[in-house]
């Protein structure tokens, strides 16, 4: 038997209602904040991600699904959305049509990581990119959007962490300070962190190794070395969050994995999903649009992992999903009424009712069992003596009441059932 590829998951029908609920909340919240949906292709030229995300990052260095297509072009299944949205923004000169573009998306993503709870190789993200504004109001707005969506899902055990990485000039100075601080203890760092020391020193803060964290305990913190403008913007973000009643904590070690961030970065973590606790993360990327060939244009965005969010919902038992039901089940009493039951259900379905009947020529008893299993609100019995005089028996399944209805007047019946 062929099975799904490691790290991918089928989303089977019983799970769909919670996905639909999440998607509808995402759609609604973004609509209220006037974000427009964008959909980009599943794969892109590899160079987009290499240039956009950064060669030294984990994503580009070891997680991308990259392959040569038949024309020997190197293509990659998208591991995240920001680079793709910026590519589309540049390609269609969207900045010329509108000075500020606020996008949102829902899309599968692909990363070849070690699968574990909350970590898959194909997973789904929703998220947003606001391109064209440097105002910290946008940073705060995005954090609030992400927080609101999680709150609307009923999640309680949430922590919003924020930090500022400053601009590249201040960051370079800080990196030198950190390098100086760590130079004496470099040999005591873990292998990964030693690599990061040379390639992407800020990411040392992401290390989960205890001895690394011990060494980092007294390290200088970037937040103390950022430039004036970043500092002021960070103050604005903090004040707006406080005024909007979004509880947050400052995490000076929140550097995030990607190269393109400037100024504000943030993450929302759940206390209920184990070690892969980040539900969403994002930040400002004022240099990325230019880096990918566009005019200098500031941007800010975030991405949220949908599987992980649903896992948190499950663990907090926060979703109240109504049980699935159908409006009408038509029970065929006489076996030779197959084309009649087909026609009748088509009429009701065209009247926008959810209708089911038996395709397998089962007994009346088995059909009744099926109607119960499907939580039918009404059952209509097709056949018998009444049918000869143009009448059918309709049973209300919640009250048990039965009544004779006119088989030819199905519009009226549809209205009755809808009520």
Burial zone of 177 (CB within 10 Å; 0-12 exposed, 13-18 middle, 19+ buried) = middle
Per CB under 6 A, the list member of 50, 85, 279, 413 interacting with ligand AMP is 279
What DSSP element (H or E) covers 332? strand 326-332
CA dist., res. 163 & res. 234, Å (int): 8
Per CB under 6 A, the list member of 76, 107, 125, 128 interacting with ligand AMP is 125
CA dist., res. 155 & res. 147, Å (int): 10
- Shortest distance in whole angstroms from residue 303 CB to ligand AMP: 4
Structure tokens at 176: 């030198």
Per-residue interface string for the shown chain with ligand AMP, residues 134-153, x marking contact by CB under 6 A: --------------------
Does position 281 interact with ligand AMP (CB under 6 A)? The reply is yes
Structure tokens at 358: 């038996």
CA dist., res. 260 & res. 171, Å (int): 12
Task: Please give the residue whose beta carbon sits closest to ligand AMP in the complex.
Answer: 305
Using the rule CB under 6 A, give the single segment among 11-19, 151-159, 276-284, 354-362 that binds ligand AMP: 276-284
Does position 22 interact with ligand AMP (CB under 6 A)? The reply is no
Does position 303 interact with ligand AMP (CB under 6 A)? The reply is yes
Give the nearer residue to ligand AMP in terms of CB position, either 164 or 345.
Answer: 164
> Which residues from 239-258 bind ligand AMP, rule CB under 6 A?
257
CA dist., res. 319 & res. 366, Å (int): 33
CA dist., res. 349 & res. 175, Å (int): 65
Does position 54 interact with ligand AMP (CB under 6 A)? The reply is no
Look up tokens 């929140």; give the residue.
Answer: 254
- Shortest distance in whole angstroms from residue 109 CB to ligand AMP: 7
CA dist., res. 328 & res. 415, Å (int): 12
- Shortest distance in whole angstroms from residue 282 CB to ligand AMP: 7
Per CB under 6 A, the list member of 30, 35, 89, 123 interacting with ligand AMP is 123
> Which residues from 84-113 bind ligand AMP, rule CB under 6 A?
111, 113
β-bridge mates for residue 305, sequence order = 125
Does position 261 interact with ligand AMP (CB under 6 A)? The reply is no
Does position 203 interact with ligand AMP (CB under 6 A)? The reply is no
- Shortest distance in whole angstroms from residue 80 CB to ligand AMP: 5
Give the nearer residue to ligand AMP in terms of CB position, either 304 or 328.
Answer: 304
- Shortest distance in whole angstroms from residue 77 CB to ligand AMP: 12
Does position 278 interact with ligand AMP (CB under 6 A)? The reply is yes
Does position 286 interact with ligand AMP (CB under 6 A)? The reply is no
> Which residues from 305-364 bind ligand AMP, rule CB under 6 A?
305, 307-308
| Among the listed residues 327, 334, 362, 330, the one whose alpha carbon sits nearest the alpha carbon of residue 343 | 330
Q: Which residues contact residue 96 at a Cβ distance below 8 angstroms, ignoring those fewer than 6 apart?
A: none
Distances (CA, A) of 313 to 126, 149, 205: 16, 12, 29
| Among the listed residues 35, 46, 40, the one whose alpha carbon sits nearest the alpha carbon of residue 89 | 40
How many whole angstroms from its chain centre is CA 57? Answer: 22
Residue numbers at the binding site for ligand AMP (CB under 6 A): 80, 111, 113, 118-120, 123, 125, 257, 278-281, 303-305, 307-308
């Amino acid at each position: 038997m062929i099975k799904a590829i490691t790290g991918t998951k089928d989303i089977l029908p019983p799970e769909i209602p919670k996905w639909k609920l999440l998607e509808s909340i995402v759609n609604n919240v973004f609509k209220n904040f006037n974000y427009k949906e964008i959909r980009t292709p599943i794969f892109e030229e590899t160079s987009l991600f290499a240039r956009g995300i950064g060669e030294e990052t984990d994503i580009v260095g070891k997680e991308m699904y990259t392959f040569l297509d038949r024309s020997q072009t190197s293509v990659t299944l998208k591991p995240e959305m920001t680079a793709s949205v910026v590519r589309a923004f540049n390609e269609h000169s969207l900045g010329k049509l509108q000075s500020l573009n606020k996008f949102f998306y829902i899309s599968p993503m692909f990363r070849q990581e070690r699968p574990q709870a909350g970590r898959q190789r194909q997973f789904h993200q929703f998220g947003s990119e606001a391109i064209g504004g440097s105002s910290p109001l946008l940073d705060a707005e995005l954090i609030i959007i992400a927080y609101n969506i999680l709150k609307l899902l009923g999640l309680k055990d949430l922590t919003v962490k924020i930090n500022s990485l400053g601009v590249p000039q201040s960051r370079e100075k800080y990196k030198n300070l950190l390098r100086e601080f760590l130079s004496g203890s470099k040999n005591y760092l873990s292998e990964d962190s030693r690599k990061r020391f040379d390639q992407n020193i800020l990411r040392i803060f992401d290390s989960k190794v205890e001895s690394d964290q011990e060494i980092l305990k007294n390290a200088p913190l970037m937040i103390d070395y950022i430039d004036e403008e970043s500092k002021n913007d960070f103050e604005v973000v903090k004040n707006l969050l406080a005024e909007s009643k979004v509880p947050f904590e400052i995490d000076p070690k929140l550097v995030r994995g990607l190269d393109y961030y400037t100024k504000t970065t943030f993450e929302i973590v759940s206390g209920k999903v184990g070690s892969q606790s980040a539900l969403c993360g994002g930040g400002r990327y004022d240099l990325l649009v230019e880096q990918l060939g566009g005019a200098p244009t500031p941007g800010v965005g975030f991405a949220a992992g949908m599987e992980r969010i649903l896992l948190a919902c499950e663990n907090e038992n926060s979703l109240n999903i109504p049980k699935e039901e159908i409006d009408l089940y038509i029970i065929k009493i006489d076996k030779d009424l197959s084309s009649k039951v087909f026609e009748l259900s088509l009429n009701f379905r065209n009247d926008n009712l959810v209708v089911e009947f038996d395709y397998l020529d089962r007994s009346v008893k088995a059909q009744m069992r099926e109607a119960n299993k499907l939580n039918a609100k009404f059952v209509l019995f097709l056949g018998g003596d009444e049918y000869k005089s143009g009448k059918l028996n309709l049973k209300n399944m919640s009250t048990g009441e039965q009544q004779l209805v006119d088989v030819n007047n199905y519009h009226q019946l549809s209205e009755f059932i809808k009520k």
